[in-house]
Amino acid sequence: MREWLEKKSIQGVLVLIVLLIWGYNTYSIVGVAAEEESVKTPGGGMDINTEDWQVPELKKNTYRSDFPDPFEPKNVSNVINKPEVQSAPPEEAAEPPVLTLTGIVEKMALVQNQDNQLFFVSTGDTVEGARVQSVSTDSVMVTFESQKITLKINK
């Protein structure tokens, strides 16, 4: 086969076939372009009848309450159940930390713990295990183990 393809006459025929295919494709592309130009109006714009256009009706999504919540995990029988871990006896609720609000600058607060350490905090930060929920002009809201604590500036 290789010897056959190395012959000059076969190579010439293959080049001729490739040129014919390219010519046909070019002719087809030019023909499509010529058809598109015939659609244009003399002013250069497209001749389009907008009366034929229709806007589809939009479907409104509704949620039926009898469907299960898609975000809840499904009960699958082939899931390997992990052995239950013996939980420690319930501990008494930890005491919330003793925090004092010393000052507020813009959306940042200066908070002092009972050891007189100062912390410069903003919303989302944690101080002594208490998470800062919000900083307002005269107070800071923190949560400690689901307890909400409001720290106010002492005047």
Confidence grade of residue 135 (pLDDT, cut at 50, 70, 90): very high
The answer to whether residue 138 scores a pLDDT higher than 70 is yes
Contacts of residue 100, defined as CB under 8 A and 6 or more positions apart, other chains included, come to 111, 112, 113, 151, 154
Structure tokens at 118: 């100062």
- pLDDT tens track for 52-88: 777 777 777 666 666 666 666 666 555 555 566 666 6
Tokens 């256009």, located at residue: 53
Mean pLDDT of 85-103: 76
Beta strands in the chain (DSSP E): 99-105, 108-113, 118-121, 126-127, 130-135, 139-144, 147-152
* Mean of the per-residue pLDDT values of the chain: 79
Question: What's the confidence (pLDDT) of residue 94?
Answer: 79
Burial of 130 (0-12, 13-18, 19+ CB in 10 A): buried
Read off the pLDDT band of 143 (50, 70, 90).
very high
User: What percent of the chain clears pLDDT 70, i.e. is strictly above it?
Assistant: 67
Between 132 and 78, the more confident residue is: 132
CA angle 23, 24, 30 (to 5 degrees): 90
**Which percentage of the chain shows pLDDT scores above 90?**
26
pLDDT above 80: residue 103: yes
